[in-house]
Structure 1
Amino acid sequence: MSEKLTKRQKDALETKKKIVNAAKKLLSQKGFEEISIIEITKEAKVSTGSFYTYFKKKEDIISELNKLDFYNLAKTVIQMKDKTLIERLEYYCEHFLLAIERAGIETCRQWTRNNIKPLPMPEEPQFTKYQYDNKAMNSVLENAVETGELNDNFPIEDFTVQINAQLYGLMTIWCMSDSHIIGSGRIKSYISDFLTPALTTYLKK
């Protein structure tokens, strides 16, 4: 059983949460380049010194937001024993994009800038964001092979790259179209028209 957090630890987590939420709100209103650390701490109602307790620079806020909602998505999907592989992949892809869309378009644009020049993930520094997303999708497909849903000769790495390319593409188009083309709304057609036919050859009867 894990130890209970002390009041000081709880207060520290709450302060960090306030800073992240304040940055997220300002990002959605003004964009990354237009906000300052002073504005973030003012919005969060904490001291500027508190910011530097948790983050070295403004860009670190994006790294923190980068990990939100993604770390447990693959694990959640693997545990969906009552759903088919196609249903699980649809859930994964849709919720991947929904998490990004909830964070806001300006946050997404800054994510994209940050990750074009790969940075280590905050909690798994051995991986960049791209490597981590590949690892997550890889685990979903590997599980499908292990459970006998896919043939042993299924090309896991090829499908991992193709699925993530589709997700990154929809994310980028969402930014480029100024949110007129919503990626999460395109997942059902991608699954039914493209991914399902591609997987049919490898699905065990």
Structure 2
Amino acid sequence: MDPKPKSLKQSQKIDFHTKIWPQDHQLLKKLSLKYGNIQNVIEEAIHLLKVRESLLDEEIMQTIIKHEIDLYPLSHLMLQDFRMVSVGRRTFLSLIQNLPETPIQENNALELIEWFYNDVIPIKNLTLYQVLAAIRNLWISGNYFTKINIQSTEEDVNSSETIDIQHHHSFKIVFYHDFNDQTYGEYWTKYFTYFLSEQPLNYHVSQIVIRPQSFYFVVELQTLQKS
């Protein structure tokens, strides 16, 4: 009996031979352990280049679930869709030196977060954790922070059942950066405090602490505030 015919995708593939440096070949072999084989590594690399060079078909773009992809392609999609521009570190620090009100009060955080969830969930319908997770992924991929930790401040020790963290109502969010400038933390604290506490979210932000290379605050639903 004849073997089953290859899929259309498989039958369209062609043999391709080239020469690369030994160190690059070793890297391909190392990456193949993660991606299955060298062919998969090359296809993944081509896909990332398509994202970076804006070469993806519109139909494919519509199928990308942004909150499930890696930070590298996410950053390029964000730059592409929002027509963002890059500025140097010193330039950025000079722009925020006096904590300008306009970029804080007229920010596009809402649009970014809804875009992150493929514009299918209005931000008011997201859980608090989903909002903070979007901030973490978007602002790290935008190279504003090196790390962002989200820690639940709720205690389940007296609860008969553990509640999924995505449904917790109070979190401490810690931002890490390498600008070594207190103003940087002051600007972003003011930015996020304004965004999270205003309509349509109306969260309560408290316990703000700012250091030269990090800052944090606690954000919770208004209903959790103590009277």
Query: Structure 2-normalised TM-score?
Result: 0.30
Please state which structure has a larger fraction of its residues in strand. 2
Whichever structure has more helix as a proportion of its residues is: 1
Larger Rg: 2
Q: Per chain length, whose mean CA-contact separation is higher, i.e. which structure has more relative contact order (CA < 8 Å, sep 6+)?
A: 1
TM-score computed with the length of structure 1 as normaliser? 0.32
